[in-house]
Structure formats: C-alpha cells, structure tokens
Amino acid sequence: MPTDKNIELTISDGHASAPPKAAKKILDVAYDLFYRRGIRAIGVDEIVKRAGVTKPSLYRSFPSKDELAASYLRQYDREYWERFDEAVAAHPGDPRAQIKAFLTRIGKRTQVADYRGCGMTNAAVEYPDHSHPARVVSEANKQELRRRLRAMAAAMGAQDPDTLGDGLLLLIEGAYISGQLFGLGGPAQAVARNADLLIEASLKK
Amino acid sequence: MPTDKNIELTISDGHASAPPKAAKKILDVAYDLFYRRGIRAIGVDEIVKRAGVTKPSLYRSFPSKDELAASYLRQYDREYWERFDEAVAAHPGDPRAQIKAFLTRIGKRTQVADYRGCGMTNAAVEYPDHSHPARVVSEANKQELRRRLRAMAAAMGAQDPDTLGDGLLLLIEGAYISGQLFGLGGPAQAVARNADLLIEASLKK
DNA sequence: TGACAATGTTACCGATCGGTACGTATACAT
DNA sequence: ATGTATACGTACCGATCGGTAACATTGTCA
C-alpha cells in the first residue's frame, strides 16, 4: 500500500481533509531557499529551522530531500505555466504578440539584482543524472516548453516552425542564464527585441 | 610572505623548477569530475582517490576546494578561448563566418549523450554568491565573451551591434543549457541556423 | 470523554564534508 | 655520509550531511 507521503498538497476544496500545515510551511521555505541558493547548497536542517518545524515533520510529509526538491519544482512548474498562460490570454489568437509579451516579462524579471534564473534550468545543472527526481520534473517542463513554442511558431506561419520554436527556446534559456550571470544591464534585457527580429526573419514572405 | 600555493601550474619552460606532478594529476582529475558531475557534487576525497594521491597533497598545491574549483575554471577559460580563436582564425576578416564557425562547433558538441554544457555557466549556477572564487572566474569569462560578440557584431555592420551581440550571446547560452537539458535532438542543434537568421535580420540594409 | 491524527521533542545514526598535525620517504648538494 | 629541503602518506579533526527511533503533546471531532 502506498503511504500518504509526498502528497501534492491538495488545494483546499471546501471542507475536505485539510493538508497538514507543517508540510506547506516546509514547502514554502524549501521553495525559497532552493530557488535562491540552490538545492545542493541547502541542508534539511536549515529548512526545518527556518520553517519553525522539526526534522521528523519534514520526513513525515516528504520521503526524502530529493523528493522535496521534486515537489518544489512541481510547484514551480504550476506557477510557470500560469505566467505563460497569462501572456497567452492577453493576446488571443495572436501567437506573435503572446511570445512578445512572455519574453518582455522575462526580460524585465532578469533585470533585478540577484536574479536567480529559472529554477528548472538550475536544478538540471545541479543534477546531471537524468533519473534524479528533481531533474525528471525539470526535463518534463522543458519538453513542454519546447512543444508550445514550436506550436506557436507554426501558428505564426513560420517557414520552418521547429527551427523558429527552438530558436525562441534558446533565447529564453539564454535570458534565464545570462540574467543571473550578468545582473543588471546584462544581455537578457535584449531578449524580446532579438526574438522579434528572429521571428520577423523566420516568417513566410 | 605569499606561499607557493595555488600556483597556476607553470607550463614547463625548459629546465625551470618543475611543478609538483601531484598538482597536475589533481587538477586533471578535478577538471573532469567538476565538469561532468558538478563542483558541489564532488568531494575532495573522491578527487584524491581518482588521482592516486592523498589529501595533504591536494592542500599543498591548492589552498582550498573553492580555489581548486577556480583553478579548474581558469584552465577551462584558456581552452575556451583557444577554441574561440580557432574559429576566428579560420575566417580572417569575416566576423560573420567566424561566428558561424564557432556556433556550428557548439551545435555539434551539444549533440552527444550526456553533454554537460559550459563549465563556466554551470559553476555560476552552482554558486550564486558573486564573491565565490569559482564564480569570479566564470563572470570574467562571460564578460569577455560579451565584449567579443558585440565587437564582432559591430564589425559585421549590424544596425545595433550591442543588441545583436547580446542576441548571439543569448543563443549561445541557450545552446549550452538546452544541450544538457534535451540531449540528442534538442534545440541546440539549431543554434547556428537561428544565429544566421538573426544576423541577417540585424544588418544594415 | 475518548480516540485519532498531526506535530513536537530529544536524541541519535553512519557517512561524508573540507581541512590539518605530524611523521616519513626521496633526492640532491656538500 | 650527512644535512637539508621537498614531496608524500597515515591518521585524525570537528562539523555537517540526510535520515530515523521512541515518545510526549496538542487539537479536533464524535
């Protein structure tokens, strides 16, 4: 029989069984620390200390640190597509404007001190092993991103949609990374402009 | 008085004082392990074991693990610009062809299983702290890359050289990252094609 | 009131972390 | 042969790593 561990903190649906509060505090703190300072850099002791809980509480809700990291990324994944869908919803039927809105937003986010890039990308760098629980989540997120970008490139009427979709993905990943590498004034602020140039050059004439 | 520690393994210049052989073996092994599996993931014990030396030998040549990591990146830096300069030298006076050659090479390198991206980029992800010795080397490398790309974009006759240079940098970083994220058949194989499209769209007409 | 589930408390585990005190082997010059 | 310096090895350090056993406390709902 499967245990109750590693549940995905079911959103409160009315008066259903409320999820343990400790698990939420732990995940919130882990999210913040893992993202800002890296998964490997943070020990479970620091997480429970900052969350005001104790270590057994952590291991009652999460089977391991690796699985806690995976849960952090699943949360990240949900918020990621929320932001993505916001940009899409802002420009119905206009994929080029959708991309531009998403990229403009990314470009802005990168222009803060101590920007830390994409949690998914960072986790993949930290865990080269493809079977690591955190990396599994990360790779799935990136596959989905690639799928969407290629589809949008096709909807824009690109000559070679797969190439343009991949090009946009490269620009996006480049923005995430160079955002944290260069800080303020870095190349990431030019991501939307370059994407637009690339799109313009890739459309059927 | 400064100690002899953390010397940069002076290339044997005739019969000058040869550096300790242990230091070279240690750096070679550390290079391989740090790059393939990450700096935080590798302990000094594993390094000395694989190098066939002992821990005190490591700490006689390097003041700390962090400084060993920095030495690894300095070595990486030298080899990086060697590859870059090869692409430049292959097409004298033709910056667009130089970029294309460099990017084609990167695209090819990413298309192997277990590709691990750029050691500089990875180190910066592992160490968000700007004062970390490894990160200092990494940031300097990226600043220099940006400088060169912008200069080449200007030499190509771009309308906005800084924007094109930064766009190329984004594509390159995207290739490093997506190369390790997607493995074979990933978006990184399209980096040279997209760069060429972007360049074409950025030239003065 | 009783029962159950969630959380806390305390103390501990073996393994590994980065780093070092200190003795030993080798080579070379005198 | 003996001194001297340099390179290397054995053994160890305290701290931290991820993870657990056993038990006490709390809150909630029946």
* pLDDT single digits (tens) A114-166: 999 999 999 999 999 999 999 999 999 999 999 999 999 999 999 999 999 99
Burial of B134: CB neighbours in 10 Å, binned 0-12, 13-18, 19+: buried
As a whole-number percent, the residues of chain B with pLDDT over 90 amount to 87
Write out chain A residues lying below 8 Å of B38, CB-based.
40, 125-128
How far lies A71's CA from each of A134, B78, B81, B129, B183, in Å?
8, 39, 40, 25, 24
Are A187 and B171 in contact (CB < 8 Å)? no
Spatial CB neighbours of A37, under 8 Å, sequence gap ≥ 6: B128
Residue nearest to nucleotide C5 (CA to C1'): A20
B23 or A201: which carries more pLDDT confidence?
A201
State the pLDDT at residue B13.
Answer: 33
| Closest chain B residue to A189, measured at CA | B166
pLDDT beyond 90 at A192: yes
How far lies A151's CA from each of A96, B28, B183, in Å?
11, 44, 21
State the pLDDT at residue A97.
Answer: 98
pLDDT beyond 60 at A100: yes
Q: How confident is the model at residue A14 (pLDDT cuts 50, 70, 90)?
A: very low
CA-to-C1' span, B123 to C21 (A): 33
State the pLDDT at residue A195.
Answer: 98
Our CA-based measurement puts residue B31 at a distance from the nearest CA of chain A, in whole angstroms, of 16
B5 or A25: which carries more pLDDT confidence?
A25
State the pLDDT at residue A57.
Answer: 93
Write out chain B residues lying below 8 Å of A180, CB-based.
124-125, 128
Between CA A155 and CA B165 the distance in angstroms is 28
State the pLDDT at residue B14.
Answer: 30
Write out chain B residues lying below 8 Å of A198, CB-based.
167, 194, 197-198, 201
Q: Chain-centre distance of CA B167, in angstroms?
A: 19
pLDDT beyond 80 at B142: yes
Are B121 and A173 in contact (CB < 8 Å)? no
CA-to-C1' span, B104 to D30 (A): 71
Give buried/exposed letters for B175-205 (b at 16+ CB in 10 A, else e): bbbbbbbbbeebbbbbbbbbbbbbbebbeee
What are the start and end residues of each CATH 1.10.10.60 domain in chain A?
15-62
Q: Which of A146, A170, A189 minimises the CB distance to B171?
A: A170
State the pLDDT at residue A2.
Answer: 34
Retrieve residue B31's tokens: 């290079």
Q: Which of A138, A166, A201 minimises the CB distance to B198?
A: A201
Residues 52-81 of B with CB under 8 A from A: none
Count Cα atoms within 13 angstroms, Cβ side, for A60.
12
- What does the pLDDT average to over B14-24? 58
Contact A180, A116 (CB under 8 A): yes
State the pLDDT at residue A22.
Answer: 82
Spatial CB neighbours of B76, under 8 Å, sequence gap ≥ 6: B31, B35, B119, B120, B141
CA-to-C1' span, A34 to D19 (A): 19
What are the start and end residues of each CATH 1.10.357.10 domain in chain A?
73-202
State the pLDDT at residue A20.
Answer: 62
pLDDT beyond 70 at B115: yes
Return residues with beta carbons within 7 A of strand D: A 42-46, 55-56, 59, 64-66; B 20-23, 52-57, 60
How far lies B84's CA from each of A162, A194, B99, B118, B203, in Å?
28, 23, 9, 13, 23
Task: Report which DSSP code applies to A158.
Answer: B
pLDDT beyond 80 at B147: yes
CATH superfamily of A15-62: Homeodomain-like (1.10.10.60)
State the pLDDT at residue A21.
Answer: 83
Q: Would you tell me which CATH number, out of the four given (2.40.10.500, 1.10.357.10, 1.20.120.50, 3.40.50.970), belongs to the domain A73-202?
A: 1.10.357.10
- What does the pLDDT average to over A79-108? 97
Residues B72-202, CATH architecture? Orthogonal Bundle (1.10)
